[in-house]
Amino acid sequence: MALTHLARQALNLKPGMAIAKGGSYALRIARAYARQAFSLGRSTFVDIKADGGDRAGWLSHDYSGLDAHLTPPLSDNIHEDAAAVSAHSFDLLGSSPIRVAYGMRAPGFEGRRYPVELKPTNVEQIVNRLSSGNRRRALAIRNLIDDTYNPIDWQIDFKSGFRWSENTVSGALRYGHEPGVDVKVPWELARMQHLPGLALAFRLDRQAGLEREFRNQALDFAAANPPGYGVNWMCTMDVAIRAANLVLAMDMFIASGAEFDAPFLAEFRALIEAHGKHVSGNLEWHDLHRGNHYLANIAGLLFIAAYLPPAPKTNDWLIFATRQLIAEVERQFTEDGANFEASTSYHRLSMEMVVYATALVQGLDEDRIQVLKAAEINMPLFPPWYLERLERMAEFSMHITKPNGRIVQIGDNDSGRFISICPLGGDTSLDHGSTIGAASALFKRADFSEFSGAEDQASAALVSALAKGRRVESYLDEGEPPHAVNRPSGTPASVNDDKNIISDTMIELPDRSVLDDLEMLSYADFGLYIWRSPRFFLSVRCGPIGQNGNGGHAHNDQLAIELNIDGEDWLADPGTYVYTPSPKRRDSYRSVRAHAAPGIDGQEPAALTLGMFRLEDKAKAKCTYFSATEFEGSHVGYGFPLRRRIFIEGGAIRIVDDTHGAGGDLTAATHPVIIRDARALKVHFSLNIAFSPGYGLFE
């Protein structure tokens, strides 16, 4: 992390806490340099096992259920993606398609482009970039790669052109320290989430060369990224996600008839063991603020433990990860299924981790089940409350989806996925269909399958394969609605309670029928209140900032609304855009001015100066009334109560903001402003920031 960012954060902490955090950071860097000194001249690779080329004890699943779904247009997209991956052309985090190689010229990010390094002309020059102790093994690995293969530069931010050093221990590397540089770019590529798709393309027609591309890329990564060195071992979350995708891709290739040589299989097993050692030794655990990173650690470790042959070490990983998965689902998801990080996009990411990890454990072979039973993790492996909460996670994603198929954006959106095999074209961060489809494989819920599209059912087939067809009954009684209609709570507001009104807006709907079959849904623990019908969606953000008060992925969006009518966004949360490459742009998307929320003279209800991933819960927003036609909520972020009331009546929506008896000098509105179209509504709320549907993207 950048020293300027750390210094700014320290200035906003209590002296004791600032000293403690500074000391912890200094100790971490000192340890990293000590590890580098200790490993100088030593290899950090995992030794090859004598039986490393033997597949006994490895994962083995039947993926034939996928075949019925691999039809046009999905099959065409799969082939197109496989061709791009084989050409090392990647379109990630708003990069547009870029061929990633040593010596490449990056397009630059917002005017920042870093100089091109010298391009290696042979394998030895690539190897000589590494620490001296790792060169011999790296050269041996590279000698297994086909001569026609062109190496990928795994250390480069291929948007800005900045490169991290591959001969520096990961803990000593910095990020967020140069303008325009985004560490998420190499991390995203090195998650290797494109490899299961390559296996899927191979399954379609056994196209020659795809298994060789998978083999070469895995070896290329192993040779270029010795364990503990370079940018791609910095974040344990990304290491864990990479391991899960490597394991899944290998299993799918083998199940589809691919054959691999023993030397490659031995190196691959060593690579997965290295991932297991790294994840288990660098868990992103925090007693109070652990979140999706730690959940990813656990899910990835499960894939590693299930893939490797049974042994005391892998059995310990399996037992630990299963127990922690159950514990973290209870901790990180509310009883109604919403994620505790106050982000609808991170909800999807975390839900995917839980869905795929749960399926994997459900489908374990009997010998691994006995390992869990011996540790007193008995059948059923997952308690009823756990499965109900998982089922409700998918319900939440359905309920936050607007008529246009996009979710309401609350908090950060980094386009993060755990496993994604369905190339739908473009960024699909706001389409939760494939994740709901994946969950449908675990539960007997027709509405999950009906909600997700045809392509999404491929994800369902994949999860079903991992779970070996084992499904559970829904928590719902037959005929019960998926989410009980919420009863009105609190005391109803009065539209005539007009003390200190600062804004009064009347939105006239195109016709009253858009409200037919209107239902109300509340997620109080998350802080989201929704009215929805087939043609209408109105949501209000009002509640916790997430992460047990840390607010790392929260925005200044309290009392903000989203409105969608007949598929058109009249008001929409603009998203996130980017993180560290542009702190100013990040803050502009976190600002109250980016949201359809009540504001006071350009002030922020919570300071944006505590760091890019921290937001103080100064607003303390609360909902005081919610019914089929009314909402009332307030917050104190400006130092006094600021209230928003919403009334749905007579074919119109009325939004009244007031200071609730305080700040009389702010009184401004005397008559409602009449709004009849989306453009006028955006102008009324002064929303002119570009809409960002995914990380690095804007429309």
Q: Which residues contact 603 (CB under 8 A, 6 or more apart)?
A: 592, 638
Does residue 304 surpass a pLDDT of 80?
Answer: yes
pLDDT, mean of residues 139-149: 97
Tokens of 419: 């496993």
pLDDT tens profile 475-497: 887 656 665 445 556 666 665 56
Does residue 56 surpass a pLDDT of 80?
Answer: no
pLDDT value, residue 371? 93
Cβ 463 vs Cβ 351: under 8 Å: no
pLDDT value, residue 16? 56
Nearest CA-CA partner of 415 in 401, 431, 402: 431
pLDDT, mean of residues 623-630: 94
Nearest CA-CA partner of 339 in 526, 615, 551: 526
Fill in the amino acid letter for 568. E
Does residue 40 surpass a pLDDT of 80?
Answer: no
- Checking 674-682 for CB contacts under 8 A at 24+ apart, the result is 674/506, 674/508, 675/505, 675/506, 675/507, 675/508, 676/507, 676/508, 677/570, 678/565, 678/568, 678/569, 678/570, 678/571, 681/507, 681/563, 681/570, 681/571, 682/570, 682/571
Q: What HEC string does 356-424 produce?
A: HHHHHHHCCCHHHHHHHHHCCCCCCCCCHHHHHHHHHHHHHHHHCECCCCCECCCCCCCCCCCCCCCCC
Grade residue 385 by pLDDT with cuts at 50, 70 and 90: very high
Does 226 or 650 have the greater pLDDT score?
Answer: 226
Q: How far apart are CA 549 and CA 685, in angstroms?
A: 28
pLDDT value, residue 25? 53
Does residue 531 surpass a pLDDT of 60?
Answer: yes
Nearest CA-CA partner of 605 in 657, 682, 672: 657
Does 478 or 626 have the greater pLDDT score?
Answer: 626
Mean pLDDT of the chain: 90
pLDDT tens profile 568-588: 999 999 999 999 999 999 999
User: What is residue 241's DSSP assignment?
Assistant: H
pLDDT tens profile 58-81: 678 999 999 999 999 889 999 999
Does residue 19 surpass a pLDDT of 70?
Answer: no
Cβ 563 vs Cβ 681: under 8 Å: yes
Q: How far apart are CA 455 and CA 418, in angstroms?
A: 17
pLDDT value, residue 185? 98
Q: How far apart are CA 372 and CA 320, in angstroms?
A: 10
Does residue 32 surpass a pLDDT of 70?
Answer: no
Q: Which residues contact 290 (CB under 8 A, 6 or more apart)?
A: 284, 328
| CA dihedral sign of residues 166, 170, 175, 181 | positive
Cβ 302 vs Cβ 279: under 8 Å: no
For the chain, give the percent of residues with pLDDT over 70: 89
- Give the start-to-end residue ranges of the domains of the chain: 40-47+82-281, 283-484, 489-684
Grade residue 664 by pLDDT with cuts at 50, 70 and 90: very low
pLDDT value, residue 615? 95
Grade residue 648 by pLDDT with cuts at 50, 70 and 90: very high
Length, in residues, of the chain? 699
Grade residue 363 by pLDDT with cuts at 50, 70 and 90: very high
pLDDT tens profile 90-117: 999 999 999 999 999 999 999 999 999 8
pLDDT, mean of residues 416-438: 85
pLDDT value, residue 421? 87
Q: What HEC string does 427-442 produce?
A: CCCCCCHHHHHHHHCC
pLDDT tens profile 241-300: 999 999 999 999 999 999 999 999 999 999 999 999 999 999 999 998 899 999 999 999
CA angle 98, 104, 109 (to 5 degrees): 60
Torsion angles phi and psi, residue 629, rounded to 5: -135, -5
End-to-end CA distance of the chain: 29
pLDDT value, residue 601? 84
pLDDT value, residue 37? 64
Does 212 or 500 have the greater pLDDT score?
Answer: 212
pLDDT tens profile 164-196: 999 999 999 999 989 999 999 999 999 999 999
Grade residue 545 by pLDDT with cuts at 50, 70 and 90: very high
Tokens of 145: 């790669």
Tokens of 216: 């070469």
